[in-house]
Structure 1
Amino acid sequence: MVSNPVYKTHANRIKDGRGQGRGADYIPFIQANDNKVASEGWLTRTPGWHSNRIHHTLSKYEYQYLLVQDWADKVIDIREQYPLPIEETQRIAKKLNIIHANLKGQDVVQTSDFMLTVPKGENGTMEEARTFKPTNNLTKRTLELFEIERRYYQEIGIQWKVVFDVGRPINFIKNIDWLHDAKRPDVRPGMDSEMVNIIAEPIFKLLKKNDQKKC
Structure 2
Amino acid sequence: MAKRRYGFDEDKIVRFLKEGRGQGSGASYHPWLTLQEVSSLGRSSRIHSRKTGREHHLLSDIETAVFLLLDWSDSVTDIREQFPLDRNETRRIAAEMGVRHPIDTHSQTDIVMTTDFLIDMRTLSGIILIPRSVKPASELDNDRTLEKQEIERRYWQAKGSEGCVAISVSGKV
TM over 0.5: yes
Deviation at 1:106, TM superposition (A): 2.2
Deviation at 1:49, TM superposition (A): 1.4
CA distance in 2, matches of 1:12, 1:97: 30
Q: How does 1:128-147 map to 2 (within 5 A)?
A: 128-138=130-140, 139-147=142-150
CA distance in 2, matches of 1:69, 1:62: 10
- Asked whether 1:16 is paired with 2:19, we answer yes
> Which residue identity is paired with 2:63?
E
> Which residue identity is paired with 1:84?
L
Q: Identity percentage over the alignment?
A: 36
Other-structure match for 2:66: 65
Other-structure match for 1:101: 102
Other-structure match for 1:118: 121
CA distance in 2, matches of 1:162, 1:20: 23
Structure 2 segments unaligned to the other structure (5+ residues):
1-6
- Asked whether 1:25 is paired with 2:51, we answer no
- 1:85-106 per-residue CA deviation (whole Å, 9 max, x = no partner) reads 1011011111111100112232
CA distance in 2, matches of 1:84, 1:20: 11
Other-structure match for 2:41: 39
Structure 1 segments unaligned to the other structure (5+ residues):
171-215
Deviation at 1:5, TM superposition (A): 4.8
Q: TM-score, normalised by structure 1?
A: 0.71
Query: How many residues matched?
Result: 163
Q: TM-score, normalised by structure 2?
A: 0.88
When the two chains are superposed, the root-mean-square deviation of aligned CA atoms in Å is: 1.8
> Which residue identity is paired with 2:96?
K
Deviation at 1:167, TM superposition (A): 9.1
- 1:127-161 per-residue CA deviation (whole Å, 9 max, x = no partner) reads 00000010112210011011111111111112321
Moved over 4 A (4+): none
1 or 2, which has the higher helix percentage?
A: 1
> Which residue identity is paired with 1:11?
V
Q: How does 1:142-157 map to 2 (within 5 A)?
A: 142-157=145-160
Other-structure match for 2:4: none
